[in-house]
Amino acid sequence: METVNITIEGQSYQVEKGLTILEAAKKCGYEIPSLCAFNHGECSLASCRVCLVEAQEGKGPNRLVASCVYPVSEGMNVTIGSPKATAARRTSVELLLSNHNRNCQECDKNGKCELLHVAQVTGARENMYQGEQTPVTVDMLSPSIKRDTSKCILCGRCVARCQNAHGLSVLGFEKRGFNTIVGPAENRSFMDSPCILCGQCTTVCPTGALTEVSEIDKIDEAFRAGKHVVVQVAPAVRASLGEEFDYPIGTPVTGKMIAALRRLGFERCYDVNFGADLTIMEEGTELLGRIQNGGTLPMITSCSPGWINYAEYYYGDLLDHVSSCKSPHQMQGAIIKSYWAKQMGYDPADVFVVSIMPCTAKKFEKDRPEMEHDGIRDVDVVLTTRELGKMIKRSGINFKRLPDEDWDQDIMGEYTGAAVIFGVTGGVMEAALRTVYYKLTGSEYGKIEFTEVRGHDAGIREASLDINGTVVNVAIASGMKSAKVLLDQIRNGESKYHFIEIMGCPGGCINGGGQSYVKPCFLPNEDDDILDTYKEKRANALYSEDERQTIRQSHNNKQVQELYEKFLGEPNSHLAHELLHTTYNKNRERFN
């Protein structure tokens, strides 16, 4: 490693060549306030000017430079705390605030706002600059994501994330100078643009400009109306919810989460893992059917509503490849309102299903017209992990002091390890392979785990399995940038795969757009490299729960078996198709 000698605040240091001043200072133990710089240069437009420091090279002048982009050089003398540098940073923040909507108390990001953080650190003064404000757009038309330009500081993080995750950015800068805003082309709503509503932008936004659309009020209304309110929770939520209550990232909080849900008044608390097992039964059967009967291959999973949006917008010609299965929580919602309601003697119209999801696109998915049966919606409300955290906080529950409780066990409480790992990229594939292996061979896969398909990052993984003479080629992608490669292969007739898993967010649901914010400045107890490790930590929380389960294959879920015996008949039966399968829109316009 090539190094250079620099001086920071009069102290000598040897640091890696090529680092920015910001990175080098961090390694030497200094915390320069910064805003637009994010995640090792994922975004580094040097637009906010919050990280200004004084730097002198050789005998050159002592200049103010943006430390997030300025590289260190031999003999450089950096000053962070001089009156000139501190005043410059403070002015930068005060100028940002002068064109910012300052209703901080009511803002969704209250407590998680990085602008407020740097305002505090730099000592910004009250109302220093007042004047004209940029015309404001507030987009609340989508059920998933709210965009409020009055809080946007034009840092470009969301633009970079959309581009990095999905390759084709929906967000961009438009107009110029004082009128510049960030939004979809023509400043349209997310609903009128080809946004897949994944919510990745909300996870990187430093302020309250991009947030999920909250649905907590609808739950309050349902309680007031005396409905039978049932809650179901996605696997990935348990790996992240703890972060809302200052647990280290990757702490599974399943037991406390269930205890909290019960205290919030839900009549039943179910795990979407039951629905995940059901999905495997349906999807596995569909896959085997396609392989054995010469159906359309490769078949692609359909659990991720962000991916489904992308498929409809950009690959309408390939929709026959997508499994007709609804996503697990939609399946389970349909079962709660039919099988469970019948068992309980309830009118399905009085049952209200709430899904807790790591996802903003699920909010859109549950509103799709196909997601109902006989006029009864499968799912009524979708909350993100973050919203659940808020709901618990406002109720006065002390999360850390809750006991560990277990899911309601009556008729859909059982779940297998296969279902838990749905929350991480490769998980649905692995769960499906465990069951497909059994269906093809009549016995369980000895090692249980198909570690070939595991991972926790974007990118493509593939494996080829010889199951009793039947070769199954599989591939996994998360994030649309990776998915596009596999989809173009199919379009060009070059795909060698039988089964493909695609997840909308890079890394799968553990890194979903509805998960807790990973903002290093608010995580003093996490390591400096937390942005590199949080996905792995959350994934491990799920894999460890899989290992703890005694039953680890979906087809061995006794209650799922019972559901088929008593109600559905067999996988892919007529009733199963009515309740658990869906259709897609080949003619979805990207701009309408």
Partner 1 sequence: MAHLQQSAALQIEEICSRYVNEETPLMMILSDIQKEYGYIPLEVQELVSEKTGISVAEIYGVVTFYSFFSLKPKGKNVIGCCLGTACYVKGAQQVVDKFSEILGIKPGETTDDGLFTIDALRCIGACGIAPAVQINGTVYPKMSVDQVPALIEKYRNGGNA
Q: Which residues bind partner 1 (CB under 8 A)?
A: 159, 163, 168-176, 183-186, 193-194, 589-592
Known catalytic residue: 387? no
Of 114, 212, 282, 286, the active-site residue reads 286
Is the CB of 353 or the CB of 483 nearer to partner 1? 483
User: What's the closest the beta carbon of residue 46 comes to partner 1, in angstroms?
Assistant: 18
DSSP 340: I
User: Taking the mean position of all CA atoms in its chain, how far away is CA 545?
Assistant: 20
User: In the annotation, is 370 catalytic?
Assistant: yes
φ/ψ of residue 5, rounded to 5: -100, 125
Angle among Cα 98, 100, 101 to the nearest 5 degrees reads 125
- Residue with Cβ nearer partner 1 (183 or 479): 183
Residues 201, 148: Cα–Cα separation, whole Å:
13
Active site residue 267: no
Q: How far is the CB of 458 from partner 1 (least distance, A)?
A: 18
- Smallest distance from partner 1 to CB 196, Å: 13
Indicate if 283 belongs to the active site.
yes
CB closer to partner 1 out of 174 and 444: 174
Rg (the chain; Cα; Å): 25
Q: Of 23, 94, 365, 545, which is the active-site residue?
A: 365
Q: Is 303 a catalytic residue?
A: yes
Report residue 207 CA to chain centroid gap. Answer: 18
Residue 64 or 154: which CB sits closer to partner 1? Answer: 154
Least Cβ distance, residue 367 to partner 1 (angstroms):
23
Catalytic entry in 109, 112, 227, 362: 362
| E strands, 216-341, in order | 228-233, 268-271, 299-300
Select 317 or 589, whichever has its Cβ closest to partner 1.
589
Do 591 and 473 form a contact (C-beta atoms < 8 A)? no
Q: Mark whether 509 is an active-site residue.
A: yes
Which of 187/549 has CB closer to partner 1?
A: 187
Of 486, 505, 260, 513, the closest CA to residue 386 belongs to 513
Q: Which of 370, 462, 536, 562 is catalytic?
A: 370
Q: Helix 328-335 crosses helix 272-293 at what angle (to 10 degrees)?
A: 110
Distance of alpha carbon 164 from alpha carbon 513, whole angstroms: 14
Question: Smallest distance, Å, CB 409 to partner 1?
Answer: 48
Residue 113 C-beta: closest distance to partner 1, Å: 25
Question: Which residue matches tokens 């974007």?
Answer: 458
**Is there a catalytic annotation at residue 244?**
no
Rounded alpha-carbon distances, angstroms, from residue 367 to 200, 231, 362, 500, 587: 20, 17, 9, 26, 18
Which one from 68, 201, 303, 359 is the annotated catalytic residue? 303
Question: Nearer to partner 1 by C-beta: 159 or 197?
Answer: 159
Active site residue: 256, 501, 509, 516, which one? 509
d(CA 19, CA 15): 8
Distance CA 408, CA 365 (A): 26
And the tokens for 465?
């399995």
Task: State the minimum distance, in angstroms, from the CB of residue 591 to partner 1.
Answer: 5
Query: Among all residues, which ones are annotated catalytic?
Result: 283, 286, 303, 323, 362, 365, 370, 509
